[in-house]
Structure 1
Amino acid sequence: MKYEPIDASLFVANRNKFMSRMKPKSVAVFNSNDVYPISADSTMPFQQHRDIFYLSGVDQEESILLLFPDALKEENREILFVRETNDHIAVWEGEKLSKEQGTKVSGIKNVQWLSDFEKVFFEQMTEADTIYFNTNEHYRQAVETQTREDRFIISCKEKFPAHAVAKSNPILQEIRGIKEPQEIALMQMACEITEKGFRRILQFTSPGVWEYELEAEFLHEFIRNRSKGFAYTPIIASGNNANVLHYVVNNQQCKAGDLILLDVGAEYANYSSDMTRTIPVSGKFNKRQRAVYDAVLRVKNEATKMLVPGTMWAEYHEEVGKIMTSELLGLGLLDKADVKNENKDWPAYKKYFMHGTSHHIGLDTHDYGPLKSPMKANMVFTVEPGIYIPDEGFGIRLEDDVVIQEKGEPLNLMKNIPIEAEEIESLMRDSQ
């Protein structure tokens, strides 16, 4: 891995939180992701399943975590299974985790080879009444591919039809939503790497540059700072491309006078950052662009202040909508009649700001976390309002990642990333 080793105490704490919420005499199993084929002998770069990483720190394919808090033998209450290595694998693929290394990474004393899983799992199931399956129930998921987890669930139901079934996901939604200090530190690192990339872009951007060149500059800076790369597919959207919310082709030339919307974040140790900045290709906003930019920044700043313990996610978005409505009236994009006659299910401001303001962020960019209960301290949210004006050829979005505090305003993990228009213009001017 490119990142510095993570102290195993984080994963010990995460497992304890999960196991404390399990039913009596129950087993939970977590599988690594598959290595997905492309064609011939090619595969996609491996991405570890975030849940097994969260609970074990293991960042390797073909690994399985078994948790059984009520196992009769204490050594069987946590078992990690890893792929057995040999000289051939070491030569062709590189070193894999040994049993000793598996213990060092995870804090789990009982580490066994994957080839022993079926025998050990059968023994544990003879003591258990319930099996926890790890299904993907995120509100934005749209999975069509059968996963390693899916295959395990099918097989387990066939072999153990008399066991009760429970779901791991509700527990994970609860505990992954509230970050440990070590997790916040890792996310801070991801944000600092993103900052380095953005400052590089401010020095590099000028009329005639291509969107994909900016993408390459970000990637260069990310990887040289121990990141695997982008936390999600980057959006480098110049001109009217910014009005396509998920514009990812990044293949157009940036023209003088246009704006560029940069929705980009680095990952670090599998933790995500999620930044959006909007900058002028020529290094200076025109009067109209500046007015809209400042309006978006005001909405972001006011929305950030609302992210405190006790806030309800749905009500928060309604309040942000009211602030955005006021700004759009001030910009002349809405009039009082638009607001008076609006559809309550699709308020007038949605014409120019059609997406949500915030989402959980962590190991996943759109991370686990409850959305129907009050916000709590140490939850981490994005704040990302935008105004999109196709008729005027530009869109502006600004986004930071913030940690809810027990008291006071959230901690902005991106507070050092330039966002004020004057600072952005100054940094771009100094590069010319």
Structure 2
Amino acid sequence: MRYEPISNELFIQNRKNFMAQMKPNSVAAFNSNDIYPIGADSTIPFQQDRNIYYLSGVDQEDSILVLFPDAPKPEHREILFLKETNPHIAVWEGEKIDEEKALQIAGIKTVYWLKDFHKIFHELMSQSETIYINTNEHYRAAHDTETREDRFNKWLKENYPAHQVAKSNPILQRLRSVKHQLELDTMQTACNITEKAFRRILKETKPNIWEFELEAEIMHEFLKNRSRGFAYTPIIASGKNATVLHYIENKHQCKDGDLILFDVGAEYANYASDMSRTIPVNGKFTDRQKQIYNAVNRVKKEATKMLVPGTLWAEYHVEVGKLMTSELLDLKLLDKADVQNEDPKWPAYKKYFMHGTSHHIGLDTHDYGLLHEPIKANQVFTVEPGIYLPEEHIGVRLEDDVVIQENGEPFNLMRNIPIEIEEIEDLMNQ
């Protein structure tokens, strides 16, 4: 791994928190992700399943974590099953995790090779009554691909039909949404790398540069700072492209007088950052661009203040909608009749601001978190209002990542990333 190791204190505590919520006499299993083929002998670069990583810190393929808090044998209460390594594998693929490294990374003492999994797991199942399976139940999840975890869960139910089945997901949704300080420190590192990349592109942006050239500049800075790359597919959208919410082609030339919307974030140690900024190609905002930009920035600032413990996510979005409605009325993009006659299910402001304002962020860009439960301290949210005017070729979105505080306004992990018009223009024209 290229990133600095996270203290195993985090993973030890995460497992304690998870096991404290398991039913008596139960086992939980978590699998690493597959390495997915592209064609011939090519594969997509490996990315670890977020749940096994959250509970162990193991960032390696062909790994299984088993938790059995009530195991008759104390050494079987936490077990890692790992791919067996040998000198041949070390030559071709590099060193793999062994018992000593597993203890350093995860704080787990019991390690077996995968070839022994079925024998040992059968023993554990004969001593337990309930099995916790790991399923992805994120509200945005929509995948057709069968994962390693899916295949494991199928095998489990076929071979141990008498066991009660429970779900790990409800426990993890709550645990993962509230961040440990070590997680917040890691996310701050990801945001700091994103800041470096943004400051780099402020110097590089000029008329006729291509969107993909700017993408390359960002990636350069990410890789140079020990990030694996983008936490999600980057959006670098100039002119009218910025009014397409999920424009990811990044293939057009940036024209004098246009704005460029950047929605990018560095990944670091599997943790995500998520930033949006909008800048002028030529280094100077027009008066009209300033009007739209400042309206979005005002909504962002006021929306951020609302993110306090006890707030309900759905109610928060209603209040942000009111802020945006007021700004759109001042801009004369809406009139009072539009608001009076609006459909409550799709308010008038949605014509120009059609996406949500905030989502959980952490190990995933759209991280785990139960949106029907009140917001809690140490959860991390994005704040990302926008205004999109296709007929004017203007799209503005501004986004920061903020940590909910027990008292007071959220702490902005992106507080040092330029956002005010004057600072952006000054940096672009130095």
Give the TM-score taking structure 2 as reference length.
1.00
For residues 369 and 413 of structure 2, the distance between their equivalents in structure 1, rounded to whole angstroms, comes to 18
Determine helix, strand or coil for the equivalent of 2:229.
coil
Amino acid at match of 1:176: R
Determine helix, strand or coil for the equivalent of 1:166.
strand
Aligned residue number for residue 304 of structure 1: 304
**Cα distance, 1:214 vs. partner?**
0.3
For residues 315 and 42 of structure 1, the distance between their equivalents in structure 2, rounded to whole angstroms, comes to 47
**Cα distance, 1:99 vs. partner?**
1.3
**Cα distance, 1:250 vs. partner?**
0.2
Structure 1 residues without counterparts, runs of 5 or longer:
none
Does 1:272 find its partner at 2:272? Answer: yes
Amino acid at match of 1:57: G
Please give the per-residue CA displacement for 1:33-52, whole angstroms capped at 9, x wherever unaligned.
00000000000000000000
For residues 103 and 124 of structure 2, the distance between their equivalents in structure 1, rounded to whole angstroms, comes to 20
**Cα distance, 1:235 vs. partner?**
0.1
For residues 116 and 365 of structure 1, the distance between their equivalents in structure 2, rounded to whole angstroms, comes to 35
For residues 393 and 340 of structure 2, the distance between their equivalents in structure 1, rounded to whole angstroms, comes to 27
For residues 94 and 254 of structure 2, the distance between their equivalents in structure 1, rounded to whole angstroms, comes to 42
Does 1:145 find its partner at 2:131? Answer: no
Does 1:46 find its partner at 2:46? Answer: yes
**Cα distance, 1:132 vs. partner?**
0.5
**Cα distance, 1:405 vs. partner?**
0.2
For residues 99 and 112 of structure 2, the distance between their equivalents in structure 1, rounded to whole angstroms, comes to 7
Amino acid at match of 2:155: S
For residues 110 and 385 of structure 1, the distance between their equivalents in structure 2, rounded to whole angstroms, comes to 48
Please give the per-residue CA displacement for 1:226-253, whole angstroms capped at 9, x wherever unaligned.
0000000000000000111000000000
Determine helix, strand or coil for the equivalent of 2:66.
strand
Aligned residue number for residue 403 of structure 2: 403
Aligned residue number for residue 171 of structure 1: 171
Aligned residue number for residue 259 of structure 2: 259
The size of the alignment, in residue pairs, is 430
Amino acid at match of 1:95: E
Please give the per-residue CA displacement for 1:118-172, whole angstroms capped at 9, x wherever unaligned.
1110000001100001011000001100000000011011110000000000000
Amino acid at match of 1:357: T
For residues 30 and 372 of structure 1, the distance between their equivalents in structure 2, rounded to whole angstroms, comes to 26
For residues 248 and 62 of structure 2, the distance between their equivalents in structure 1, rounded to whole angstroms, comes to 31
Please give the per-residue CA displacement for 1:322-361, whole angstroms capped at 9, x wherever unaligned.
0000000011100000000000000000000000000000
Aligned residue number for residue 419 of structure 1: 419
**Cα distance, 1:370 vs. partner?**
1.3
For residues 407 and 102 of structure 1, the distance between their equivalents in structure 2, rounded to whole angstroms, comes to 38
Aligned residue number for residue 220 of structure 1: 220
Aligned residue number for residue 366 of structure 2: 366
Aligned residue number for residue 289 of structure 1: 289
Determine helix, strand or coil for the equivalent of 1:276.
strand
For residues 311 and 284 of structure 1, the distance between their equivalents in structure 2, rounded to whole angstroms, comes to 38
Amino acid at match of 1:34: D
Amino acid at match of 1:269: A
Matches within 5 A, 1:29-428: 29-428=29-428
The 4+ residue runs of structure 1 with deviation greater than 3 A are: none
The answer to which of 112-121 and 199-208 deviates more is: 112-121
For residues 336 and 81 of structure 2, the distance between their equivalents in structure 1, rounded to whole angstroms, comes to 63
**Cα distance, 1:102 vs. partner?**
1.1
For residues 362 and 291 of structure 1, the distance between their equivalents in structure 2, rounded to whole angstroms, comes to 33
Determine helix, strand or coil for the equivalent of 2:35.
coil
Amino acid at match of 1:91: V
For residues 115 and 420 of structure 1, the distance between their equivalents in structure 2, rounded to whole angstroms, comes to 57
Determine helix, strand or coil for the equivalent of 2:429.
helix
**Cα distance, 1:114 vs. partner?**
1.1
Please give the per-residue CA displacement for 1:216-235, whole angstroms capped at 9, x wherever unaligned.
00000000000000000000
Determine helix, strand or coil for the equivalent of 1:22.
coil
For residues 143 and 67 of structure 1, the distance between their equivalents in structure 2, rounded to whole angstroms, comes to 27
**Cα distance, 1:112 vs. partner?**
1.1
For residues 388 and 9 of structure 2, the distance between their equivalents in structure 1, rounded to whole angstroms, comes to 45
Please give the per-residue CA displacement for 1:6-45, whole angstroms capped at 9, x wherever unaligned.
1101000000110000011110000000000000000000
For residues 327 and 118 of structure 1, the distance between their equivalents in structure 2, rounded to whole angstroms, comes to 62
Please give the per-residue CA displacement for 1:178-227, whole angstroms capped at 9, x wherever unaligned.
00000000000000000000000000000000000000000000000000
Determine helix, strand or coil for the equivalent of 1:14.
helix
Determine helix, strand or coil for the equivalent of 1:184.
helix
Root-mean-square deviation over aligned CA pairs: 0.4
**Cα distance, 1:98 vs. partner?**
1.2
For residues 113 and 18 of structure 1, the distance between their equivalents in structure 2, rounded to whole angstroms, comes to 24
Determine helix, strand or coil for the equivalent of 2:256.
coil
The answer to which of 95-104 and 261-270 deviates more is: 95-104
For residues 98 and 130 of structure 1, the distance between their equivalents in structure 2, rounded to whole angstroms, comes to 29
Please give the per-residue CA displacement for 1:84-105, whole angstroms capped at 9, x wherever unaligned.
1011111111111111111110
For residues 373 and 169 of structure 1, the distance between their equivalents in structure 2, rounded to whole angstroms, comes to 15
**Cα distance, 1:410 vs. partner?**
0.3
**Cα distance, 1:59 vs. partner?**
0.2
Amino acid at match of 2:94: G
Structure 2 residues without counterparts, runs of 5 or longer:
none
For residues 344 and 102 of structure 1, the distance between their equivalents in structure 2, rounded to whole angstroms, comes to 54
For residues 120 and 146 of structure 2, the distance between their equivalents in structure 1, rounded to whole angstroms, comes to 25
For residues 420 and 310 of structure 2, the distance between their equivalents in structure 1, rounded to whole angstroms, comes to 30
**Cα distance, 1:298 vs. partner?**
0.2
Determine helix, strand or coil for the equivalent of 1:371.
coil
Determine helix, strand or coil for the equivalent of 1:122.
helix
**Cα distance, 1:5 vs. partner?**
1.1
Determine helix, strand or coil for the equivalent of 1:15.
helix
**Cα distance, 1:384 vs. partner?**
0.2
For residues 163 and 7 of structure 1, the distance between their equivalents in structure 2, rounded to whole angstroms, comes to 35
Amino acid at match of 1:413: L
**Cα distance, 1:115 vs. partner?**
1.1
Determine helix, strand or coil for the equivalent of 1:66.
strand
**Cα distance, 1:111 vs. partner?**
1.1
Determine helix, strand or coil for the equivalent of 1:277.
strand
